[in-house]
Amino acid sequence: MTTSAPTPFGTRLRAAMDARGPLCVGIDPHASLLADWGLGDDVAGLERFTRTVVDALAERVAVLKPQSAFFERFGSRGIAVLERAVADARAAGALVLMDAKRGDIGSTMAAYASAYLDPAGPLFSDAVTVSPYLGFGSLRPALDAARAAGAGVFVLALTSNPEGTEVQHAVRPDGSTVAATVLRALKAENAAEAAEGRLGSYGAVVGATLGRAPEEACVDLTIDGPLLAPGIGAQGATPADLPAVFGPAIKNVVPSVSRGVLRHGPDAASLVAAASRMAEEVRAVAE
């Protein structure tokens, strides 16, 4: 009996963005947000917050992005909340991008890949964020696991934090920056899907805040895969900044917003309205 290959993440992401709008909403249960919602900074508060966001948005937005650290800080009970959120969000039709930023070598990287990219695992997600700063080749276990599962990865390239420049803008002996090297490697990973006219499954994290310093964006962002763009909202960028940063690659941009939507909770209708407004603003500048 033959099993058909899973639909690649890039194909599923394109369909979700076309149907629901190009937006990723983070699930970031900061202690301050829990307090703003009138919730305790404990597992009960975490669960109420997370369930409210998933129930309100999982049937409406293209991507939900839980930040693993805010669940891990509560130990095993927090991870249990995360497991349920991943399962419920995927069951409601949202793609889940696990924001874990894992990066290691050899068997350890393979173990991280198994945690998030094995369809049999309780934390299996549609995609995961990873760090390439032990060398892009160290990501091979995650890249291969994603391909086998029809999942995706988003690799840190040009992040929205100012400290990132000391590594990402470092110049290699061949004259390329580290960020440019990461982006070239991702384009190569996406070549097979691009040759068939499909969006690749291997994405980059590129901060929307680069619009404040256009010289920072002088790299080739046409990687034939998705570009996760954090920095909208609390970090100061807006959807109007996206064309200047991403240029011809804007159709592949997945803008990520967390507090800009979450601060409208705990009222579910207000969360839906905020996410819908943001998705429409993004759609308007991307067309």
The CATH number of whichever domain residue 93 belongs to comes to 3.20.20.70
92/111 Cα distance (integer angstroms): 28
pLDDT at 211: 58
Predicted confidence (pLDDT) per residue in 228-254, tens digit: 999 887 778 899 999 989 999 999 999
Domain that holds residue 149: 9-282
* Residue 61 belongs to some domain of the structure: yes
User: Is 257 contained in some domain?
Assistant: yes
In a domain, 249, yes or no: yes
Any domain includes 126: yes
Catalytic residue among 65, 101, 187, 251: 101
Q: What is the total residue count of the chain?
A: 287
The percentage of residues in the chain with a pLDDT greater than 70, rounded to a whole number, is: 96
Instruction: Specify whether 101 is catalytic.
Output: yes
Q: Rounded CA gap, 16 and 189, in Å?
A: 22
| Residue 199 resides in a domain | yes
Total number of domains constituting the chain = 1
Residue 1 inside a domain? The answer is: no
169 within some domain: yes
Determine, yes or no, domain membership for 92: yes
Predicted confidence band of residue 19 (pLDDT cuts 50, 70, 90) = very high
The model's confidence at residue 213, banded by pLDDT at 50, 70 and 90, is very low
180-211 residue pLDDT tens:
999 999 999 999 999 999 999 999 999 998 75
Angle between helices 43-57 and 268-286 (to 10 degrees): 50
Task: Specify whether the CB–CB gap between 260 and 234 falls below 8 A.
Answer: yes
Q: In this structure, what token pair is assigned to residue 228?
A: 């996760």
